[in-house]
Amino acid sequence: MRNLFLAAIFLISLSSMAQKLGPDHIIGVWQSEDYKIEFFKQGDIYSAKLLWSREMFEPDGNTPKKDVHNPDENLRDRPIKGITHITELVYGGGEYKNGKLYSVQDGNTYSFKGELQSENELETRAFKGVTLLGRTIHWTRVP
């Protein structure tokens, strides 16, 4: 019983820590296993640009890949490095929601949401339709 009580206290403290961080705490550079992005804010909207990915460069290792899968033919010649690919993210109720993630890998746009797990940990989910049909990505803040 005591262990259950301690576990509950721990979970509540983690939840309250994330809520105390404030919505702008997402601003900055974050890295996952496959990506590095930088969140920024315009008005009340959060967005992120792609700084690095495992598949960002051509086989020569220097030439940035182009956005060849973009549904807009006029954008297919732009390099993927630096594009703003997370948009329309808003903060409410302790989480970031209603965002859009443009995937350079397939040219599709997915729904996007996230939640700060701690000061330096962010969990996001990109999905099509329902959250169950999506992918979770864990991010760590990069100094």
Give residue-wise pLDDT tens across range 93-143: 999 999 999 999 999 999 999 999 999 999 999 999 888 889 999 999 998
Looking at the DSSP assignment, which residues form a beta bridge with residue 84? 49
Mean pLDDT of the chain: 89
Tokens of 11: 């979970």
Q: What is the CA radius of gyration of the chain?
A: 17
Each domain of the chain, given as residue ranges in start order, spans 2-142
pLDDT band at 9 (very low <50, low <70, confident <90, very high): very low
What is the percent of the chain with per-residue pLDDT over 90, rounded to a whole number? 78
Please classify residue 106 by burial: count the beta carbons closer than 10 Å to its beta carbon, then call 0-12 exposed, 13-18 middle and 19+ buried: exposed
Q: Name the DSSP class of 75.
A: G
What pLDDT shows up at residue 99? 98
Tokens of 103: 């995937």
Looking at the DSSP assignment, which residues form a beta bridge with residue 47? 40
Give residue-wise pLDDT tens across range 25-73: 999 999 999 999 999 999 999 999 999 999 899 999 899 999 999 999 9
**Helix (H), strand (E) at residue 97:** strand 95-102
CA distance 89 to 19: 17
Please classify residue 114 by burial: count the beta carbons closer than 10 Å to its beta carbon, then call 0-12 exposed, 13-18 middle and 19+ buried: buried
pLDDT band at 92 (very low <50, low <70, confident <90, very high): very high
CA distance 67 to 77: 6
pTM of this structure: 0.82
Select the more confidently predicted residue: 56 or 14: 56
**CATH number, domain 2-142, options 3.10.20.30, 3.40.470.10, 2.40.128.520, 3.40.50.300:** 2.40.128.520
CA distance 35 to 33: 6
